[in-house]
Amino acid sequence: MNRSLFFILFLFISIKGFSQSYIFPEPKIYNDSLRKVIVNDSLENIYPVVIHPKFATSTYQSCDWDQNIFLPDHVPCDLLGKQLFHIEDSAGHKLGGGYAWDDFLQGNYVLHHISGYVLAWYTLSKTKISGPVNHYYDVPGKPPSTVATYDKGAPLSELEYLEQKLWNVKKLYSIDGKKLKPGTFKNGTGMLHVYRPNGALLRTLTFAEGLLEGPCIYYYSTGVKMIEGNFSEDKFDGTWKEYAIDGELLQETTYQEGKMKETVKKIE
Which sequence spans correspond to the domains of the chain?
A: 2-265
Q: Rounded CA gap, 43 and 11, in Å?
A: 7
Position 144: which residue type?
P
* pLDDT attached to residue 1: 38
Band (2; pLDDT cuts 50, 70, 90): very low
Q: What pLDDT is attached to residue 126?
A: 92
Average pLDDT on 250-266 reads 83
Per-residue pLDDT averaged across 35-61, rounded?
Answer: 59
Distance CA 28, CA 132 (A): 34
Counting residues of the chain whose pLDDT is more than 70, the rounded percentage is: 76
What's the rounded Cα separation, in Å, for the pair 73 and 115?
Answer: 26
Q: Whole-angstrom Cα distance, residue 53 to residue 68?
A: 9
Label residues 10-19 b or e (16+ Cβ within 10 Å = b): bbbbbbbbbb
Instruction: Give the percent of the chain with pLDDT over 90.
Output: 22
What pLDDT score was predicted for residue 12?
35
Q: What is the pLDDT of residues 179-192, one digit of tens each?
A: 999 999 999 999 99
pLDDT at 267: 64
User: What DSSP character marks residue 15?
Assistant: -
Q: How confident is the model at residue 142 (pLDDT cuts 50, 70, 90)?
A: low
What average pLDDT does this structure show over 134-160? 71
* Greater model confidence, 135 or 153: 135
pLDDT (tens digit, 9 = 90+) per residue, 71-129? 788 888 887 788 888 888 777 778 888 998 888 999 999 988 877 888 889 999 999 99
Sign of the torsion formed by the C-alpha atoms of 40, 20, 69 and 119: positive
Residues 136, 146: Cα–Cα separation, whole Å = 19
SS (H, E, C) 48-100: CCCCCCEEEECCCCEEECCCCCCCCCCCCCCCCCEEEEEEECCCCCEEEEEEE
Q: Would you state the pLDDT for residue 264?
A: 79
Three-class DSSP labels, 117-153 = CEEEEEEEECCEECCCEEEECCCCCCCCCCCCCCCCC
- Select, from the ranges 4-8, 101-105, 214-218, 242-246, the one with the highest average predicted confidence (pLDDT): 214-218
Which residue type, as a one-letter code, is found at position 185? F
CA atoms within 13 A on the CB side of 260: 11
Phi first, then psi: give them for residue 40, nearest 5 degrees: -65, -15
- Check whether 43 has a pLDDT greater than 50: no
* pLDDT value of position 88: 83
pLDDT above 50 (res 7)? no
What integer best gives the mean pLDDT of the chain?
Answer: 77
Q: What are phi and psi of 6, to 5 degrees?
A: -55, -35
pTM recorded for the entire structure: 0.75
For residue 113, which amino acid is it? Answer: H
CB 205 within 8 A of CB 211: no
Position 42 scores a pLDDT of 44
Structure confidence at residue 89 (pLDDT)? 76
